[in-house]
Structure formats: C-alpha cells, structure tokens
Structure 1
Amino acid sequence: MSFKDILLQINSYPDPTSTDAIDQAVSFAAVIGGTISAMAVEVDIPAVSNRVADYLIGLSGMAKDQERKSAEACKAGLDYFTTQAKAAGVFGGVVSRRADLYLVGANVADHARTRDFCIVPLAELTDGQRSVAETVIFGSGRSVLLFRAGAADLPTRELGTVVLAWDGSRAAARAMADALPMLSKAKDVAVLSVTNEKSVTYAGIGVDAVRHLRAHGVEARAVEIDAAGDRIGTVLERYLAESSADLLVMGAYGQSKFREFVLGGATAHMLHNPIVPLMLSH
C-alpha cells in the first residue's frame, strides 16, 4: 500500500519555490515509495486599466516584466525537478500551464483531482501560497501536504512519528482514510485526541480509530490530552514539539465561497505557521 501518483506544485510568482523545497519533496516521495510529478503555472497579470498611472510609472511594462520572470521561474523549477526526480527514480512527469494570477490555485486544484495527493510548499506568510493551499484543500477533493523548507521540513530519510489528530468527526475520518498509505510507512503513529475542549470529544474516543488502523496493519497508539483551557491548535503544537513528530495528519475544517475561505480555529492555527508538515483533508 503506497502512494503512486503525487503532485508537487512549484510556485513561480512572486517568489519561486526554492531548490531546497523541491529536493525535500522528491526525497519524501522516495521515502514513502511514491512517484511524483510537478506542476508550475506561469502567471498572467491583468492589464492596467488606468492610462494615467500606466503613463506615469509604466505599470504595463512592469507587469510584462513580472510575467517574463514567472515564465523563467517555471522553466527553471521544472527543469531542476526533472533532473532531481529522475536521479531519485521517482519522476512522474511535469505539467506547465499559464493562468490569471488569481486563478493559480484553481488550476492546481483541477490537476490535483486525479492525483493521490498534492504537495504545496509554503514560504513567507505573505507569498500567496496559503491562498493556493486553501483553494486546493477545498477544491480538489484530495489531501494536501503543506511544508515550509527550513522551518517545517519534510522527512527525507525515513518517516518516524506521525500524529493523527482525532476527534471522531467526518473530516478526521476522511483524513485517516486518505493518509493510510502514508501511515503504513511510519515507524510510530499516535492517534491524538484533545479532551475537554469540544463537547463531542470524550475519553477513549481514539480507541476505535486505533483498532481500524491496526486492521490495516498500522501499529498505532491512542494518546489523550486534557486541553485544560487551551485551544486545540495550541495543544497540538505543544505535543508535536514534545514528541519530535515528523508529520501531522488532520481534517481541514471550514468552508469555501466565491474564492473566500472561512477556516476552523484549529485548521487556521496550524496553517498560520506550521512547525511540522501538515497533511490536510477536507
């Protein structure tokens, strides 16, 4: 049981995805026994409608220059990925598209629908990648793996401890099912439930999830932590640090409407500044 068809999104604007992030994604695919493809989108910046502003500061020319840089970043990123993925024996192909700046996420979501899951590298908090991630989470119907090279690195040698956030909800059940091939590769799986924070979460809620995972050959263990007045996101973050976890699997709570996203509290907390890679399912 393994993932055979992974998609990596390579960003081209405003900040291209780093070679370090590409290296990590390729190595991670090898760790979990998968094949990985990459997709890059050249941005099309909408034409300037204000003639005076265009005349004074040359906005049209600036837009064309940024589009050229995006196209160059796409080619460089895909070329680098191809070399690294072929060397690692996990190359699955490349996809290049051109789209309106505001529709990059929608294009990635479209392609992610026919993949096992999609990897979206995050960079700076304001680089627009969070918007891409949210669009793929809500729009693709597939899991999304988020990481930040240098801060929340993907495991590149082996998959140690994976934490499954479990509250018995539909989203948590979806996340567990989606992650099964990955959980089977982990050395340690902790099914973490936070009690006394939600009325639906009770003592022993993780026991049946552990039973299900063991039925699939995954040796998991149930862990319960009393919230003691803290928010779920804070409790999760603390446990991830204390357990030296390699990855967090959780359901993504929230809803999408007209390209705007309203995230649940725990989802928003973990997305804001992740300390380990996150695999999210909606």
Structure 2
Amino acid sequence: MMKPMVSLSLATYPEANTPKTASNAVAVARRIGATLHAVAINVDIPDVSNALSSFLLDLPNKIREAEATSRSFGKNLLETVAKEALQGGVRLTTQELTAPPALIGDTAAEQCRYFDICLVGWAPDNQTARMTAEAVVFGSGRPTLLLPDATDVGALDHVVIAWDGSRVAARAVADARPFLELATMITVLTVTDEKPLPGQDIGERLAQGLRTRGLVAEAASIQAGARSIATAIQEYALEIGGKLLVMGGYGHSRVRDFVLGGATEGILSDLRLPILLSH
C-alpha cells in the first residue's frame, strides 16, 4: 500500500499563516499516515522604482525590508512544523520558494501537483491565505484541505459529505477516501431546497454504497431556508459533531480571476471546520 504524501503551502506575505497551521497540518498527516512536505513561499518583489520614487519613498529599502520579513516568517513557520512533526512522529521534508506577490497562489498550486492532498491554513482576515487556497483548489488538480486557524483539527473521525450527485461532489468523495476509511461515522448530507437534485434518494444511495464498502454511513437531508447553503451545511455538520466536511469546489479560474460557485464562495467567506474541497 502506497503511503500518502501531503503538501502544506505556507503563506508569508503580506500576512503569514499562524503556528496553528503547522500543528493542524501535522495532525492531518499523522491521522492518515502520510509524509508531509512543507513549503514556505516567500515574496520576491520586483524593483520598479525610478530615481524620484527612490528619493521620495526609499522604495528599494522598503522592498528589502518586506522580503526580509517574509523570509523570517517562512523560516519560523518551517521550524514550527519541524518541531510539531518530530513530536508527532511524522516524516517531514521542507522547502523554501520565492514568488512575486501576484504569483504566490500559482506557485503553491504548481508545487501541490506532485502530492496527494494539499493543505492550506485559513484565517478569515488573511487575504494571502484565501488567495493561496483559491489558486490551489482550482489550479493544482489535487484535493485541498482547508485548515481553519480557529480550531484544532483533532481526530477527523466524523466525516460529513455535502452531496448533490454532481461530478465535483463525486470527485470529492473519491478524493476523501483516506479520511473515509478511518472514519467512525460518515454522514451524507443533502440540501433539498437549494437547487434541483437528480433524485429523491441520492443521499441514501451514496450512504448505502459506502456501507457496502464496509464503512459506517447514514444519510441526512436539511433545508437551508433563509440561510446560505454554506452556513446551513456547516451549522448542521457542527451540530451533529462533524469534524471534517467534504464537498466539491464549484468555480473556475480565468488567469487568477476566480469565479466561485455560491456554496464555495460561502465556505471560503466563513470557514468553521476543516473542509476538503475538490474541483
């Protein structure tokens, strides 16, 4: 049996991930018996100053300071990951890369293509983390696990699947296999009032298939009502003790201009638990 390989993309500029990202990433790798590759993506700012701007704003010095701060954040985050991995018994490799500010997300996505699962730290006010997550979800070709800074990952033993019978939802279920196989409970959740569904019993059909494979699974359905679908799904998942949400990532990228589907946009705006997104 092949050992999974997961990649952690660490944001360093202008807003860095917190140390919580490091501990959560190690917890995920340990949970599924994976090796972990942590990449700090430091900023490389092109010097476009001219003589006047250099005199008035001291741009070259400001650029050097920003790049030094970015490298310092990256170094500290990699050291934190190394410490957590050693304590958790997780095999780790690390790497430092540089990229212009506009290409940080693309650089992360390209690196993630060599691994089985991509990990991205998440904080609601960290735009760098959001940009990185969107680029990785839609550009890596790999499932992306978003790790919210506000929570400890824990065991991920109760997996909730947001299921609408779509291609991207089916892809997400396949990509979540390492977590499904270790789950003590799987809940297949269908929202019945958000859009037309391909059948009445699609949740139960998937749950039955999972049970046939030897897993513990049940189906549930809810109505979003006046809530956004992202809010309704996450509230229900937390209410039933869900530790990991699995769902398809709707949307596409037009040269880094991300056009997101409603559920994906809502999830990225208000992330409340670890979420595995597949596109």
Q: Shorter-chain TM-score: which interval?
A: over 0.9
Q: Report the equivalent of 2:91.
A: 91
Number of corresponding residues: 279
Percent of residue pairs identical: 39
Distance 2:256 2:211 in 1: 39
> In the alignment, which residue of structure 2 is the partner of 1:247?
244
- Cross-structure match for 2:258: 261
The 3-state SS of whatever aligns with 2:127 is: coil
The answer as to 2:57 corresponding to 1:60 is: no
Q: How high is the TM-score relative to the length of structure 1?
A: 0.92
RMSD of equivalent CA atoms: 1.9
Residue in 2 that maps onto 1:76:
76
- Retained in 2: the 8 A contact 1:3–1:182? no
Instruction: Compute the displacement of 1:120 (Å).
Output: 0.3
**Offset from partner CA, 1:53-89 (integer Å, 9 cap, x none):** 3321212211110101111222222222123213322
User: 1:157-168 maps to which residues of 2 (within 5 A)?
Assistant: 158-168=155-165
Unpaired segments of 5 or more residues in structure 2? Answer: none
Amino acid paired to 2:149: A
Give the CA deviation at 1:168.
0.1
* CA contact 1:26–1:90 (8 Å) conserved in 2: yes
Matched residue type, 1:180: R
Following the alignment from structure 1 to structure 2, what is the Cα–Cα distance between the partners of residues 175 and 215?
A: 19
Unmatched tracts of structure 1, length 5 or more: none
Q: Sort the Cα spacing of 1:241 and 1:88 in 2 relative to 1 into closer, same or farther, 3 A.
A: closer
* Matching residue's letter, 1:170: R
TM-score (norm 2): 0.93
Regions of 4+ moved over 6 Å: none
Aligned 1:108-257 pairs, distance under 5 A: 108-150=108-150, 152-155=151-154, 158-228=155-225, 230-257=227-254
3-state SS, counterpart of residue 170 of structure 2 = helix
CA separation in 2, counterparts of 1:268 and 1:81? 29
Q: Which moved more, 1:13-22 or 1:227-236?
A: 227-236
1:104 aligns with 2:104: yes
Tell me which amino acid in the other structure corresponds to 2:70: S
- Structure 1 pair 13–185 and aligned structure 2 pair: CA distance change class (3 A): same
Alpha-carbon separation, structure 2, partners of 1:103 and 1:70: 15
1:169-204 CA distance string (max 9 Å, x none): 000000000001111111211000011221125421
Flag the 1:113–1:42 CA change in 2: closer, same or farther, 3 A: same
